[in-house]
Structure 1
């Protein structure tokens, strides 16, 4: 029973002005490397290690600031669904794996109920190495803040 408690999920919804397609396209295109220019206080580097931007199996390395410290992560794009404006990354190396056996994150942009804009649903799924590891709520907040920064960088609807 204790083993199941180590697996968990955190989720957040972020309201943005960009369309679901605009936000999704930023994440799956070569423009993802521009994220470091959009929010350089949070992302210090984005490097394509293997594969092609926007393709399942592509490996991307990140240098980012979390809780005031520079950290690194290497992710593989695990799933892409253009019909749902969804991308899923699984961490395969990096600081987050010091406390987690597995860690993945998904971002899905959906149209807002009325008017323009979108809701980005951020999901973290993870398995802690042990009970003493805190839930990565500050990492979820970092992703919420990054989503807002990316939105501010995208062309806004008229």
Structure 2
């Protein structure tokens, strides 16, 4: 069993993947209001909301525990409707040497990819984190469909 891994999950969204991408790109600051059971707080530390090089942080709930994560926006591809966040600080780095989340949206599909490197082989794959991203996507979809 290796230390490096990649998890990929896609979810169909009735509002269209482009709407999910646009929400993460433009309205990120609204996510704690839309999905308070998952995200408690979002903050921009450097740069603009979602621009390459921006540094953002999230307070979130994972398995009933409060967690923190700080990320740098590594890439945005408006044509592919993708955003890449690399973790630079936070609870997830207690288990993983590196952790990157990639959102990509195509037609009615939203896909999350997590690329990670575990500190030791006995650490579990980040299935809980992937599940949180999928649940967050569904919360945003419900919000967009209400409009």
- TM-score, normalised to structure 2, is 0.96
Deviations 1:102-135 (A, max 9, x none): 0000011101xxxxxx111110000000112111
Residue 58 (structure 2) pairs with residue 59 (structure 1): no
Which residue of the partner structure matches residue 119 of structure 1? 109
Which residue of the partner structure matches residue 12 of structure 2? 15
Q: CA deviation at 1:155?
A: 4.1
How far apart are the structure 1 equivalents of 2:10 and 2:51? 25
Which residue of the partner structure matches residue 115 of structure 1? none
Q: How large is the Cα RMSD of the aligned pairs?
A: 1.3
Residue 126 (structure 2) pairs with residue 136 (structure 1): yes
Deviations 1:57-82 (A, max 9, x none): 10001000001100000011111000
Q: CA deviation at 1:24?
A: 1.0
SS at match of 1:154: helix
SS at match of 2:41: strand
Aligned length: 147
> What residue ranges of structure 1 are gaps of 5+ in the alignment?
112-117
Change in 2 beyond 3 A, CA 1:156/1:85: farther
Which consecutive segments of 4 or more residues in structure 1 shift more than 4 A? Answer: none
Which residue of the partner structure matches residue 87 of structure 1? 83
> What residue ranges of structure 2 are gaps of 5+ in the alignment?
none
Deviations 1:22-73 (A, max 9, x none): 11111111x1010000000110000011001221010001000001100000
Which residue of the partner structure matches residue 114 of structure 1? none
Which residue of the partner structure matches residue 76 of structure 1? 72
